[in-house]
Structure 1
Amino acid sequence: MKEHLGTAIEACVAAGKEIMKIYLEEDFQVETKSDDSPLTIADRRANMIINTFLDPSGIPVISEENIQLAYEERKEWGECWIVDPLDGTKEFIKRNGEFTVNIALISNGQPQLGVVYAPALKLLYFAIVTEGKAYRHRISSEETDLTEILSYAEEIQPSQKENCIKVIGSRSHMNEETLRYIEDLKKTYGKEIEVVSKGSSLKFCLLAEGTAHIYPRFAPTMEWDTAAGHAICEAVGLSCKFKETGESITYNRENLKNGHFYVSYEE
């Protein structure tokens, strides 16, 4: 598992380096996909780089930018990588820095490890779920190697709800259902509620490092949007559950679109 973690970290950092080259250019070459979501040349190039790192593992890859195989074939996979080469493309286009590279390893539907890298912020988060720990490292140089990252990464931990409950809201997807949920939290806990806005999988990382307490996501997402962040949160004792069923999010499902979910400590 540690070997796979190292591969995922190196893939994220390499993809992030390429993304930043494009980020600093004037023309992102933005296109619109069939679902009206944006696509840039950065998504494509990052995906190609990540595939070169992951392909030698022999483990199949589900990526936002790969052609998706039929479930009849995928359901036979015991393991798979789930990748979003550029999560938060809207944040990338806005140039606010809140975009990430996400890589997770899934076994029998369950996240085993996750890596989230925000190249514009130089922040890397990673975890192996069974170790029960998650880490953060600030990449000081593009020449930083894996040994340095693993040696100097700091352990992170979530925080308990105290006088103020910090709820994470999306930069681009806040809606009425989420606002009602926040009002219900006020009534339930009788505490001040602060909304913390953040883009991409950084929302999961804020919970894992104790900057926020609850992340309700009542808008569409795909498996590659959540898998890596889910792994990081689960490693530190946070639950990621579907709102409708209360069951934990699983992966490599027949329908790769997630239902509404929330991330928090178990009450």
Structure 2
Amino acid sequence: MKHVIQAALEAGQEIMKIYDTDFDVEYKEDESPLTIADQRSHDVIKARLQQHTPEIPILSEEGQHLPYEERKEWKEFWLVDPIDGTKEFIKKNGEFTVNIALVRNGKPVSGVIYAPALDTLYVGEEGKGAYKVQSVLGESEERALEPLPLSRQDTQTIRVVASRSHMSDETEAFISELEDQYDRVETVSAGSSLKLCLIAEGVADYYPRYAPTMEWDTGAGQAIVECSGGIVNVAEEETPLLYNKPDLLNPWFVASR
């Protein structure tokens, strides 16, 4: 995993070079914002992964999206989102991430998420658990590896990851059901794949996602959640999210612990 972590850290450093400037924003065909930082991050990650694991293909949001006829034979592949939360990047609120997952037989088995503006790293590896590191690039005495989930003082309050300003009817119904079951239900908010990290940390109990996401948005986060003992299932089903589907769009899902 060292080379994967290094790839994420190097990509994060490239991103920050642009984040700290007055950058230009372009728009993709679907009108989602694209900055030069996306491409630089992609290039760094691709080069690092190909250097260490040239035999493993890469599926990146900013790379070439091969048709399913070519992808369907993949037993394992790297799933990459060079910048998750581009809107957060443009708003300069710091809540954007670099996501790298290793998917094997449709299941994300390891994941690395790095939030460069927060200098915070999350790692999950099947069979080895998950952990969080803050001040990754700081002085060594500042760094502390924290196994996930973290200990939590208030276990009486149920916390749900949800947008306070843009909540779907389905999410409101989900929260309403919880309020019927528990005395105290609160919502917490975060950008990008940091939402899944809140579940992995144990800071939140549920993350209902009744809105579109793509495979690269969730692969690394799902690996970290599951390696921390949590669950990421298709909404209304007892089946986990699967990857390398003919359509790379995810179904609705609920992450929980």
TM-score by length of 2: 0.93
Alignment check: 8 A CA contact 2:58 2:78 kept: yes
Alignment check: 8 A CA contact 1:158 1:207 kept: no
Provide the secondary structure at the position in 1 that maps to 2:192: coil
Question: 2:75, 2:256 → 1: CA distance?
Answer: 28
Aligned match of 1:84: 81
Aligned match of 1:23: 19
Structure 1 position 127 matched with structure 2 position 120:
no
Deviations, residues 165-195 of structure 1 (Å, cap 9, x unaligned): 00001478532221221111111x2321110
Alignment equivalent of 1:51, drawn from 40, 46, 49: 46
Aligned match of 2:108: 111
Letter of the structure 2 residue corresponding to residue 105 of structure 1: L
Alignment check: 8 A CA contact 1:82 1:106 kept: yes
Query: Which runs of 5 or more structure 1 residues have no equivalent in the other structure?
Result: none
Alignment check: 8 A CA contact 1:239 1:264 kept: yes
Equivalence map 1:32-181=2 (5 Å): 32-56=27-51, 57=53, 58-131=55-128, 133-141=129-137, 152-157=144-149, 162-170=155-163, 174-181=167-174
Alignment equivalent of 2:187, drawn from 178, 184, 195: 195
Letter of the structure 1 residue corresponding to residue 28 of structure 2: K
Alignment equivalent of 2:212, drawn from 212, 217, 220: 220
Alignment check: 8 A CA contact 2:164 2:187 kept: no
Instruction: Summarize the Cα distance change of 1:210–1:61 in structure 2 as closer, same or farther, 3 Å threshold.
Output: same
Instruction: Summarize the Cα distance change of 1:190–1:129 in structure 2 as closer, same or farther, 3 Å threshold.
Output: same
Tell me the CA shift for residue 50 of structure 1: 0.5
Provide the secondary structure at the position in 2 that maps to 1:21: helix
Question: 2:136, 2:69 → 1: CA distance?
Answer: 44
Question: 1:197, 1:87 → 2: CA distance?
Answer: 16
Question: Alignment length, in residue pairs?
Answer: 254
Question: 1:172, 1:59 → 2: CA distance?
Answer: 40
Alignment equivalent of 1:210, drawn from 202, 205, 209: 202
Deviations, residues 209-246 of structure 1 (Å, cap 9, x unaligned): 12111100000000000000000000121110111433
Provide the secondary structure at the position in 2 that maps to 1:81: strand
Alignment check: 8 A CA contact 2:121 2:136 kept: no
Structure 1 position 184 matched with structure 2 position 177:
yes
Deviations, residues 90-122 of structure 1 (Å, cap 9, x unaligned): 100110000000000011001110000000000
Instruction: Summarize the Cα distance change of 1:173–1:118 in structure 2 as closer, same or farther, 3 Å threshold.
Output: farther
Tell me the CA shift for residue 158 of structure 1: 5.7
Query: Which runs of 5 or more structure 2 residues have no equivalent in the other structure?
Result: none
Instruction: Summarize the Cα distance change of 1:250–1:159 in structure 2 as closer, same or farther, 3 Å threshold.
Output: farther
Alignment check: 8 A CA contact 1:13 1:117 kept: yes
Alignment check: 8 A CA contact 1:14 1:49 kept: yes
